Amino acid sequence: MWLCLMLPLFAEAQQVRVLSEDLKFVGDISTSQRKTIILQNESTEPITYFLKNVIGNIGSSQHVKICIGDDCYDPKRDLGKVKISLQPGELITDLYMDFDMGIVSTKGSFELNFVNVENIRESFLVEANYEVSNPNDKIDEFDYKEITLSDIYPNPSNRVAQLDYQLKNTNAEAKIAINSFIGNPVAEYQLDPDRNSLLINVSDFNPGVYFYTLFVNNKNIVTKKLVVKK
């Protein structure tokens, strides 16, 4: 399950736009990741929001912190302390979510509910998905139970990128899914068990950072970064 676009809770005009469209945390146990939450005040008035509550499932082994600059808070304990003030038209880029993957393999989702301090009907949600895997499920960095997979190369790439692979179980269904930096699907490729390489034409991709994910039998195995340049 991957992280979705934040939406207002009520039908009245939304004051703040969330520009970071996708927050997703995919990684190994005992690691942590930080994602930026980008907000912009589209109104002509200064606005302050506070974190009202956390909705959904955060595993007992996982830990989340909301950071504003260098100040970090536990959303389970410090709801009243997480306040965001925006001047008219202001863009905030120093709001972060730190996610500790914990010590067990799991997946789930949760939402942060931010509310306008002067109008509790005006609010927005930040929805996050996470999937935590155990690195012991793979033999080494490139050799997994069902498949051996190389890093993508060249990386950065501006024309054709290549992945080399070998399906150890020819009955397994393997594919590579490519998403933009904000999580939008870009392309998907089935890995032919009778071949040992995949060529990806990136010349039509916009320059920027992408993420490619290996799925085997619809299970997320690993996600890595691809840089496209012109």
Domains and their CATH numbers in the chain: 16-135 (2.60.40.10), 139-228 (2.60.40.1930)
Residue 218's alpha-carbon distances to 16, 73, 151, 206, 215, in angstroms, are: 36, 35, 20, 27, 5
Its pTM stands at 0.55
CB atoms within 10 A of CB 46: 11
CA 145 to chain centroid, in Å, comes to: 25
Query: Judging by beta carbons within 10 Å of its beta carbon (0-12, 13-18, 19+), is residue 150 exposed, middle or buried?
Result: middle
* Per-residue pLDDT in tens (0 to 9) along the chain, 230 residues: 333 333 333 345 678 888 876 688 888 888 999 988 989 999 999 999 999 999 988 878 889 999 998 899 998 888 878 999 999 999 998 999 999 999 888 888 888 999 999 998 899 888 888 988 876 655 444 567 889 888 898 889 988 999 989 898 888 899 999 999 888 999 999 999 999 899 999 998 999 999 999 999 998 888 999 999 98
Please confirm whether the linkage preceding 185 is cis (ω < 30° from 0).
Answer: no
